[in-house]
Amino acid sequence: MNACLRTSSRDRYRALGLLLALLLVPGLLATPAAAAQPSSRTFRDCPTCPELVRIAPGQFLMGSTAAEGAASKLRADRAAAERPQHEVRIGHPFAIGRVEVTVAQFAAFAKDSGRDYSTCFVLSNGAWKPDPKANWEAPGHDVTPEHPATCLSADDFEAYLAWLTAKTGHRYRFPTEAEWEYVARSGLDTVPVWTPDSATACRKLNAGDASFRAVRGPTWPTFACNDGFAGTAPVGRFPANRLGVQDLFGNVAEFVADCYSPSHEGAPTDGGARTDAAGCAVRVVKGASWAAEPGSLRPAVRQGIPRNLRGDGHGLRVVRDLQ
């Protein structure tokens, strides 16, 4: 009987010691699912793959209000394209590029692709004109491996995404317009509707400014400040938003998965892409570029670009599925 009591006491002390160890050593009480979670919000699937930021599901109001359109002095057609404002619920997590796809990252694919990338629309004397010599390596201004890859069409980027998918075993794709705007709005304290005299704009993004005007001589309004770049800037030079994503506004306008439509009437409300336009010959681009005028650097801004057109202001931010 006493032996049984002594054994029982030893067992209780062992159990108490194990419990104290579990409480004092961080992480030992984590469930298997919690322990398996990545420790960082950012990751990449290979050394030459884009760095990605994990984005949680959520909901938001997509599109602009009449007040936002008035503050931005939008033309009637531009204002209509951003309305009606509507609620979107994104029920899936996804990962999005921290910055735009770079020249170095695209080069890894281009070496294997065998595609002809000649001829790009570049800005010359205040208008975009086709230049048969311009391409992603020479887009009309000097670039380094860390500049965003531009002078590429949606079709070119489609091939790049298929290559990334095959290389990594994970599905890479264009963001949907709703996913892009969700990330843009979620990362902001306020909607950026900067006026030409907003000196703070040049501290936050690369758009039409004093350096751009001095070199390019545009005929449209520019910011009355200097961001230091007459063309594209190397990625990641401007502050990240609250989600850790950079360069959403300015630098290059980014292709998304959606076919262009003249308004948000009938747009998906689940975060999916709009694919109901005949043939999807025209794709949406978001975020505006290094040549953008004040009022164009807002989450709701959207433009339509032919999917096979290569322009010196168009680029890509990838999305990778997490499910």
Q: What is the per-residue pLDDT across 201-238, written as a single tens digit (0 to 9) for each?
A: 999 999 999 999 999 888 898 999 999 999 999 999 99
25-42 pLDDT tens trace: 222 222 222 222 334 699
The pLDDT of residue 24 is 31
19 pLDDT band (50/70/90 cuts)? Answer: very low
Distant-in-sequence contacts of 75-80, Cβ < 8 A, 24+ apart: 77/262, 80/262, 80/263
CATH number of the domain where residue 107 is located: 3.90.1580.10
The answer to the question of residue 36 being in a domain is no
User: What is the pLDDT at residue 191?
Assistant: 61
In contact, 279 and 198? CB cutoff 8 Å? no
Residue 189: pLDDT band (50, 70, 90) is confident
Q: Is the residue at 32 inside a domain?
A: no
Asked if 210 and 224 count as a contact pair (C-beta separation under 8 A), the reply is yes
Which pLDDT does position 137 carry in this prediction?
A: 97
| Residue-wise pLDDT tens digits, 83-99 | 999 999 999 999 999 99
Is 129 a member of any domain?
yes
Q: Could you count the other beta carbons within 10 Å of the beta carbon of residue 103?
A: 21
Closest by CA position to 285, among listed 311, 322, 319, 267 = 311
Residue 241 near residue 176 (C-beta atoms within 8 A): no
Q: What mean pLDDT value characterizes the chain?
A: 86
Angle between helices 103-113 and 154-168 (to 10 degrees): 80
For residue 18, what pLDDT band results from cuts at 50, 70 and 90? very low
Q: Does any domain span residue 17?
A: no
Chain-centre distance of CA 12, in angstroms?
56
Q: 42-45 contacts: CB < 8 A, separation 24 or more?
A: 42/98, 42/244, 43/95, 45/168, 45/170, 45/320
- Supply the pTM of this predicted model: 0.85
- Say if 4 falls within a structural domain: no
Residue 35 domain-assigned (yes or no): no
Q: Left (φ > 0), alpha (ψ -120 to 50) or beta: where does 119 sit? A: left
Residue 25 falls within a domain, yes or no?
no
Full residue range of the structural domain in which residue 143 is found? 42-321
Categorize the per-residue pLDDT at 295 as very low, low, confident or very high, splitting at 50, 70 and 90.
confident
247 vs 236: CA distance, rounded Å: 7
SS3 label, residue 186: helix
> What is the reported pLDDT for 10?
41
Task: Look at the chain and report how many structural domains it folds into.
Answer: 1
What Rg do the C-alpha atoms of the chain give, in angstroms? 24
Residue 79 confidence class, pLDDT cut points 50, 70, 90: confident
Please check whether residue 3 lies inside any domain of the structure: no
pLDDT of 193 > 80? The answer is no
Query: Contact 65/111 with Cβ under 8 angstroms?
Result: no
